[in-house]
Copies of this chain bind each other. A is one copy, B any other.
Amino acid sequence: MRFTSEQRLDDGVLERAFTLGEIPGTLWTPGSAPAPLILMAHNNGLPRREPRLVARARQTAAYGYAVAGIDAPGCGDRPRSAADEQARADLRRAMQAGEPVDEIFESFIGPLVEQAVPEWRTTLDALLALPGIGGPVGYSGWTALGIRLAVAEPRIAAVGLFAGGYVPRAQREEARQVTVPLLFLLQWDDEGNPRQRALDLFDAFGTREKTLHANLGGHTGTPWFEVEDGGRFFGRHLK
């Protein structure tokens, strides 16, 4: 893991860009150490430098967590293929037109989840080797990847998942194998995530300790107090 830039923010949080082989990422650490680690992933369409993701990561770090995000293949700072571009464009067009998107979604997002898992595990190994960063580890964000990681990676001790209306079939099925504490956050009127599917997914999780938070509004309208609620959820399970 090689740090390529660093910036100290007003609240004492240290923000460092890194590369790990081909993987570009950012690590935010609070002034106080050691800090429990939260892996903050997002649906692959979004670069890790997206301002609202950065703001969420910074605020979470300010609560006393180490937070890491990486760009997935074909996303953010990484080269993207013409085939990726086409698949993303097809998916966007179909969603905007209100067409059924399950099959496009399945064939495009399913493999992305599979590819993301080894990269996140490699990143996790490297992060836990740094001084001042400890376990147990939390995961926050992209629902499909969070399910896969919670099942595959025993170091993940709690997951906070967002949205979850569209999740590949494989992850919908393995949701019942997730047994770590879960905070499931959704937007009641999320234009891209059918509400009933998200509620059905919440119902399917195997964990006994699961909480649903829903707020009025569209996909990007999550109120800021949910970042704080997420910090408190992780506080109950990681500290």
A residues at B contact (CB < 8 Å): 188, 199, 202-203, 208-216, 223, 225, 228-229, 232, 236
Contact = CB atoms under 8 A, between A and B. Distances in A.
A229 B225 CA distance: 11
Contacts of A216: 208-211
Contacts of A232: 225, 228
A227 to B, nearest CB: 13
A223 B229 CA distance: 15
A133 to B, nearest CB: 26
B215 A210 contact: yes
A215 B202 CA distance: 10
B211 A212 contact: no
Q: 6 closest A-B pairs (Cβ-Cβ)?
A: A212-B214, A211-B215, A210-B216, A213-B213, A208-B216, A211-B213
In the assembly, how many copies of this chain are there? Answer: 2
Contacts of A225: 232, 236
Contact of A229 (B199, B202, B210, B229): B229
Contacts of A203: 188
A93 B228 CA distance: 43
A211 B209 CA distance: 19
A229 B203 CA distance: 22
Given A225-B236, A229-B229, A236-B225, A188 B212 contact: yes
A185 to B, nearest CB: 10
Contacts of A211: 213-216, 223
